[in-house]
Chain A
Amino acid sequence: MIRTSTPQIELRHLHRVFDRTHAVNDVSFEVYAGEVFGYIGPNGAGKTTSMRILATLDEPTAGDAFVDGFSVIDDPDRVRRRLGFMPDYFGTYENVNVTEYLDFFARAYGLVGQERLRAIGEVMDFTLLGTMAHKPINGLSKGMKQRLCLGRTMIHNPSVLILDEPAAGLDPRARIELREMIDRLAAAGKAILISSHILTELAEISHRVAIIEQGRLLAVGSVAEISSGVQTRGTARVRVLRDADKLAHWLAERRDISDLKLDGDLTTFSHAGNRESEAILLREIVEAGFPVIEFGAKHKSLEDVFLHVTEGRVQ
């Protein structure tokens, strides 16, 4: 990730009100070049609305958003040159094949001559759509359409990509391929804002995430940073060579342990604390003379954090 002084994407106290619904309520965050920024929240949280504002498809009620330093309100044309937006729908034309589709968008972004042909070629190579060049779009599978849409999004080589649910409805292989493509785009220095419901995947590719609910931003940071700020109980398991029942009694006496379960030589329990406290606990178990052969702790995943931070409210 390239942390430059100016962010590629900046939301500054963004508000969007539809009649009585405050879809986006004072949202502010920044995304830098080379960063993959996950944008997560339940349905109706305001993710798509903020993304549409960034893509110059909607106007904020208050506040502003900037792409590469240009306001989406006052300089939408400059924003559009720098931004690729992949919405959560395909948007395809009838009687058009893959090449013609990409050619149209390349022309629409003002690419001419060899520059246009090179852009189409690069996108075809990147998305592995070369074999489908003359296939009608309506005959493509969902995964192929999604690749094509990603290709369309990057046809003018934008420095900022906004991907709204790009992995929705894809099979596991297509998801892995999409993830690899996003990794490569980030490595090429592009700032990527991505929303997804598949939190495990988002956690893997995102450098930082923002959690939004009911239009309000609840947390921003890396998954570890957010996890550390969230007071949840972790789960751990200990397997000992012998004296498993004694270990269970020993653990039960501790105040920071609960939900204790003994299953043969394996003891599972939940505890309050972080990784450091887990290490202390392990040392104390060993010092107490228990022959530990396995110790594992399940750390808070993005899903855990998400479930803890959000309350599942929908506007």
Chain B
Amino acid sequence: MSFDATNLELAANPESPATSAGNPSRAALLWQSIERFLSRAGDWLNPILVKETRQAIKSSQFTITFVLVLAACWVATIAIVAWIGPRIFYSAEGSTLLAGYLSILAFPLIIVVPLASYRSLIAEREDNTYDLLSITTLRPRQIISGKLGSSIAQMAVYFSAIMPCLAFTYLLRGVDLPTIALVLTFMFFWSLGLSMVGILLATLTLQRFLQVLILVAFVAGLIYMFLMAIAMSGTLAYWGRDLWSPNGEAWYVIAALATAYFTTFALAYFAAAGMITFTSENRSTPLRLCMLIQCAAFIGWMSGAWIADDYAREAVFVLASMAGAYWYAMGTMLTAERPTVSQRVRRRLPQSFLGRIFLSWLNPGPGTGYMFVVANLTALAILCWIGMMASDILPTRLRTWPSFEELSYLLTIGWGYIVAYLGIGLLIVGTLRRFAFVTMLATVLIQFLLLLAGFGIPYAIKSMSLELRDADYSFLQITDPFFTLYHLLDGGSADGPVLVLIVPGVALCVLLLNMPRVVRELRIIREAAPQRVAQDEAELHPPPEALPQSPWDEPA
């Protein structure tokens, strides 16, 4: 049988009016033109979104959840209206019903959709379709976007199911449209964020037992989030309208949360895409850029808080502590990168003198990753130092904690601890790599174990020693960053001068020991693409024809 390709879309639905009628009517022609338009529009949709939407429509999971949501809405409507009773005629009860409906909506949005996203990617691996997908010309980001798009499509259907109920809450009064829109937006982004987390978790490992562990933890987290979502959406349903007051500081909080949300979302998105990207591709630079943007956004918000709080040193302290923890966590992953740079990555390395000076820290590699963290930490410490000095100069209310001295110790010694621990970890991993292949997970574990040893061993010795047990702080604890920094901020400034010499001194030594590795990575220079690649590139993207520049020029 010869297959009629041109009628493929129509053939997929033999009952369509265009094929069932002998002489197509005006309605059938209209239907055909709509279908053609949709088919053309569908060409530009993400293939995974198209496929998963087709699958979802036919799946029993989707049907059952959809019917359950509808049924629950009906039951809730009847039950709440019955509970309200005659008050419904004179009392504004929209908020009560809205809170009830949002609790129902939270189940598919917070539990079903993120779990489906997680399962969707895991099932691709279990059913052996992931290999088939990864050898297509779909890019990893398209795969992740397709999965997210599928989550959004599912959310849209659940939103549409509950929409008549939301209209009903508005008619009952007590809740305004902006509040409804705010709550729905909040639920949407919450669900989308959790779906992104689900997708990221699905890329982490191929080992079945680890996948089971992750799934259990993820489900537990989703249940917790579900309860949180019920509580928060209920709160917003009742008191959301208070946000609209012109002096509401809540908007600053929402804007700060939105900044944190979108930058973290981008980080998770690029991390998930990186996890499924072929190893020769550059997976590091987009993540480093995300980290820079996230840190810059955090600095921006904290600067705002610092100004709003009369240039108080607490804001500088919070910025330094949180950003330090952030860069340590990111550093454990950046130092876990593979030390080899593929030919493919080398073709796109910065070429110019200035490019090599400023952009080489974005190149993949554990050495450049380490230096990237050190550079960011240093810039952050300088910034905090400036803020701290400004706090002393600018008019401010009387502040007692932390003092200038305490904060300066925190900045210097905190910087030293992070640089030293990450650097020692990098040296250990570099040595291990001479004998065996060290995975990213193993490197991260080594970094954390190192920190744990630095904190745990002195603690264990102190606990077991009769002399030291009751002592406040001794230099035995110098490897313990938590206790040392706490001690300095808690009246232990007397030990500061010694610690300032030792900790940053050790950090500088470790930094110097790592310099050969960093220099080795920086000496990798850009390489020209092979002739075959250049030829293919020219065929794929031919250069535009040269247009005449003046009336005397010959046309090309």
Contact = CB atoms under 8 A, between A and B. Distances in A.
Interface of A: 55-57, 59, 69-71, 73-78, 80-81, 83, 85, 87, 89-97, 99-100, 103-105, 107-110, 112-114, 116-122, 124-125, 128-131, 133-134, 152, 156
B311 to A, nearest CB: 52
Contacts of B14: 134
B78 to A, nearest CB: 34
B106 to A, nearest CB: 27
Contacts of A113: 40, 43
B280 interface: yes
Interface stretch (B132-140, B163-171, B286-294, B370-378): B132-140
Contact of B136 (A105, A118, A125, A130): A105
B58 interface: yes
Given A75-B344, A92-B127, A125 B3 contact: yes
Contacts of B343: 71, 73-74
Given A93-B51, A96-B55, A152 B132 contact: yes
Contact of A80 (B8, B54, B136): B136
Contacts of B58: 95
Given A57-B134, A122-B5, A130-B2, 17 more contacts: A55-B131, A59-B279, A76-B281, A83-B135, A90-B128, A95-B58, A95-B59, A99-B11, A100-B12, A104-B51, A108-B136, A110-B137, A118-B5, A121-B3, A121-B6, A134-B12, A156-B137
Interface in B325-347: 342-344
Interface string B128-151: 110111111111000000000000
B131 A57 contact: yes
B128 to A, nearest CB: 4
Contacts of B127: 91-93
A81 B278 CA distance: 15
Residue of B127, B139, B281 with most chain A CB atoms under a 10 A cut-off:
B127
Contacts of B50: 103-104, 107
A94 B58 CA distance: 9
Interface of B: 1-6, 8-9, 11-12, 14, 40, 43-44, 47-48, 50-51, 54-55, 58-59, 127-129, 131-139, 278-281, 342-344, 530, 532-533, 536
Given A108-B133, A108-B137, A125 B2 contact: yes
A108 B281 CA distance: 20
Nearest to A153: B132
Contacts of B138: 108
Contacts of A124: 3, 5
A56 B139 CA distance: 13
Given A56-B278, A93-B55, A99-B11, A130 B3 contact: yes
Contact of B5 (A76, A90, A121): A121
A81 B343 CA distance: 20
Contact of B47 (A70, A81, A107, A130): A107
B457 to A, nearest CB: 33
Contacts of B9: 117
A-B pairs with lowest CB-CB distance, top 3:
A121-B5, A124-B3, A107-B47
Contacts of A81: 137
A88 B183 CA distance: 50
Residue of B6, B40, B137, B138 with most chain A CB atoms under a 10 A cut-off:
B137
Nearest to B1: A130
A277 B47 CA distance: 63
Nearest to B11: A133
A56 B40 contact: no
A81 B1 CA distance: 29
A170 B549 CA distance: 65
A97 B54 CA distance: 10
B533 A78 contact: yes
B540 to A, nearest CB: 9
Contacts of B137: 77, 80-81, 108-110, 156
Residue of A77, A90, A103, A110 with most chain B CB atoms under a 10 A cut-off:
A103
A275 B481 CA distance: 83
Contacts of A107: 43, 47, 50-51
Nearest to B46: A107
Contacts of B59: 94-95
Contacts of B6: 114, 117-118, 121
Nearest to A114: B6
A93 B43 contact: no
Contacts of B134: 56-57
A91 B533 contact: no
Contact of A69 (B11, B133, B344, B532): B532
A70 B278 CA distance: 15
Given A70-B532, A78-B536, A108 B47 contact: yes
